[in-house]
Structure 1
Amino acid sequence: MNQWQGKSHIDRLGSQWLQVQELYQVKGELEGFRGVRKQHQVNEFTVYNSTLQVKSDILLEKSMAKDWLQFHFQLKGVSKTTKFESRQSFIALPQCFYLKYVPADYCQLRFKENTDYESFGFRMTPEDFLDSFLPNFEELNQLTQAIETQQAYSLSGKGIPLSQTVREIILQMKNCGYTGQLRALFMESKMTDLVFAMVHQIQAQQAFSNPRINAKAKIKDAYHFMQQHLDDKLSIKRIAREVGVNEFTLKKGFKEVFGTSVIQCLIDLRLDRAYEQMLSTHKTISTIAYETGYSAVGNFSNAFYKKFGFRPSVLRNGGGFEG
């Protein structure tokens, strides 16, 4: 897809191909610049898959005449978006999900040099959102209220890490080879799967942020304890003792709130810290691997790849933004 350099057209599968220059005003050195968006209409959703490769710093600018709502899955690369009238600015990291509603605004996207970027997602108008099945989800009540009052809304400024389920659904949608009515049915089915998987992650996020019962509050305490003691030799027994629950309650609570085990959550927390250190420090990969709990850099690289979908060397060499 990222090799196509022709004019916009609709392919045999019914997808529209557009060059980024047709969508945005591009500012910066264009040598080595390639940007393509492939999009397909699925009921009220416009499903898109965008790729971008730049050798130098690039700015993309566009005036948004209408309110818009975007469910955005950043697959590769780091981008910085600024919305001037609403005075919002946020950095999108790879392998994270973002849900944004912004009234009509002037938008600017910034990409650092040598960025290899890919995103997937779907956009819709606020009116289509309110007429769809999505407002039936309690987890999206705040979004519904924001649309009704025309207030900018962001689900999570730092993004929600993509689950394996979400990544698999996106891959299936990207690789769909059906045509005609069969393609429409397949894409509609996968869109529904993607929405339910996304809402499941929002549920986990909200359950963590707003525990309703004491048991969930204890799970939150356990999570915070793990965050603050990542360098310790932690065991399920010690974590349970620290927050005042038994081991069974701790393990069951993590499954309910986070959809994963205590140990896997600990591994993910350490890898998340490693991710941040790759961007914000000059520590070597081997040093970060050792501090994350891996004596072998290869094992650390494999675990990092399994969680984020790319090697730590790719992140280190790709550069980053300072927010």
Structure 2
Amino acid sequence: MFHIQGKEFIELIPRSFGGNLAICESTSHHPGYFSSSTCTTRNEYFDILYFTCRFYQDIRVNALEDITHVSLHFQLRGHSDARISGLNQPLGMKPNVHNLLNCVAPVSDFIFPQQDHYEYICVGLKPSFFQSILEGCGEIGDELLRNAAHQKPFGLFKESMATDFHQLQVLRQLKDAPIADSLKPAFLLSKVRELTLLTLGKSSNPDAISGLNKEDITRLYAVREYLSLNFLQAHSLEKISRTFLLNEFKLKAGFRKLFNTTVFGFIHELRMNHGLELIQAGGYSIADISIKLGYESESSFRRAFKLFFGMSPAAVKKG
């Protein structure tokens, strides 16, 4: 296992609050160890980190010192483990889970296993901004507000929770805001607030995944990870059930319960987002993209795209 000191690693993912909206992108290559790409978007209230990395071997980050902040962790792909000062339990993250942490002058150790696709979004909140959100949350926010006001470290969930469709939608809009630059500060602020409220809302529903045992949940996460990597292939519930040793009822009901969408709704979302990326990247005609996504006709793709995004592929292409 390769060890790296926190003061070196923090340069890849610096956090700060203050000033007008600023966006910064960077890449880092350490041959034989890891290659990463970072995009940060920040102002005086929030700091949004989008971090992707390929780890060529197991990496341990030692004693990473950070500023006091509230952290909304969203693991999109890959695995990691963390020990954060002030929190009693280690934080294990796997694909499509999240947590909310109140980090008070944290010193953290991280372990990143060898993996090809690590993708992570952290929305850091300035403590005073987080407290202003809690003030409008009634009973749900009262205890959290007391702990935050007294700078008490805490995690919202004992174990990281599944990220649902609504949270993923907001994360997509934070990553690629579909709005004019002049309106982006207000738009992002509203979306950060929305994401925080969606996450806080999960704390009032602790039985959201009741009826599923740990083995079922592990298998359903494996299904989602598999579909995330193979969404352009043809799938059937029968084949997925057989592959992952789940009966069809548990696959359908459990997937919806965990991820707040259906199996094919999830595949559709992935295909639409991939289509959007291809359009924005250029180099492909709408007809080519419709074929890549498995549509029988260009017109079918156009209708599906407009229903999903509220605008036509041609309008996106024009910019």
Deviation at 1:75? Answer: 1.0
Structure 2 vs 1, CA of residues 133 and 20 (structure 1 numbering), >3 Å: closer, same or farther?
farther
Does residue 1:16 correspond to 2:38, yes or no? no
Q: Which residues of 2 match residues 118-133 of structure 1 at below 5 A?
A: 118-130=119-131, 132-133=132-133
Does residue 1:303 correspond to 2:263, yes or no? yes
Structure 2 vs 1, CA of residues 108 and 295 (structure 1 numbering), >3 Å: closer, same or farther?
closer
Deviation at 1:62? Answer: 4.4
Instruction: Give the Cα separation in 2 of the matches to 1:292 and 1:152.
Output: 41
Structure 2 vs 1, CA of residues 304 and 103 (structure 1 numbering), >3 Å: closer, same or farther?
farther
Deviation at 1:37? Answer: 2.3
Does residue 1:274 correspond to 2:219, yes or no? yes
Instruction: Encode CA deviations 1:127-164: one digit per residue, 9 max, x unaligned.
Output: 4433x233322323333222233332011132121111
Instruction: Give the Cα separation in 2 of the matches to 1:126 and 1:173.
Output: 20
Deviation at 1:79? Answer: 0.6
- The normalised TM-score by structure 2 is 0.58
Segment of structure 1 superposing worse, 65-74 or 192-201: 192-201
Deviation at 1:71? Answer: 1.1
Instruction: Give the Cα separation in 1 of the matches to 2:100 and 2:140.
Output: 12
Deviation at 1:80? Answer: 0.3
> Percent of aligned positions with the same letter in both sequences?
17
> Which residue does the alignment assign to 2:134?
134
Counting matched residue pairs gives 228
Instruction: Give the Cα separation in 2 of the matches to 1:165 and 1:295.
Output: 22
Instruction: Encode CA deviations 1:167-225: one digit per residue, 9 max, x unaligned.
Output: 112112212264542221221232233233323333333xx49xxxxxxxxxxxxx75x
Instruction: Give the Cα separation in 1 of the matches to 2:185 and 2:250.
Output: 49
> Which residue does the alignment assign to 2:195?
194
Structure 2 vs 1, CA of residues 305 and 62 (structure 1 numbering), >3 Å: closer, same or farther?
farther
Structure 2 vs 1, CA of residues 114 and 121 (structure 1 numbering), >3 Å: closer, same or farther?
closer
Structure 2 vs 1, CA of residues 103 and 188 (structure 1 numbering), >3 Å: closer, same or farther?
closer
Q: Which residues of 2 match residues 171-250 of structure 1 at below 5 A?
A: 171-176=172-177, 178=179, 180-205=181-206, 208=207, 226-227=211-212
Deviation at 1:18? Answer: 4.0
Does residue 1:98 correspond to 2:99, yes or no? yes
Instruction: Give the Cα separation in 1 of the matches to 2:22 and 2:179.
Output: 10
- Match of 1:53, SS state, is strand
Candidates 234, 239, 244, aligned match of 1:289: 244
Structure 2 vs 1, CA of residues 127 and 199 (structure 1 numbering), >3 Å: closer, same or farther?
closer
Deviation at 1:15? Answer: 0.9
Contact persistence 1:84–1:105 (CA under 8 A): yes
Structure 2 vs 1, CA of residues 201 and 85 (structure 1 numbering), >3 Å: closer, same or farther?
closer
Deviation at 1:289? Answer: 2.9
Computed over aligned residues only, the root mean square deviation of the Cα atoms, in angstroms, reads 4.0
Q: Which residues of 2 match residues 156-175 of structure 1 at below 5 A?
A: 156-175=157-176
Contact persistence 2:63–2:109 (CA under 8 A): yes
Structure 2 vs 1, CA of residues 36 and 175 (structure 1 numbering), >3 Å: closer, same or farther?
same
Deviation at 1:64? Answer: 2.3
Structure 2: state its 5+ residue gaps. 1-11, 15-20, 224-239, 256-261, 271-319
Structure 2 vs 1, CA of residues 42 and 179 (structure 1 numbering), >3 Å: closer, same or farther?
farther
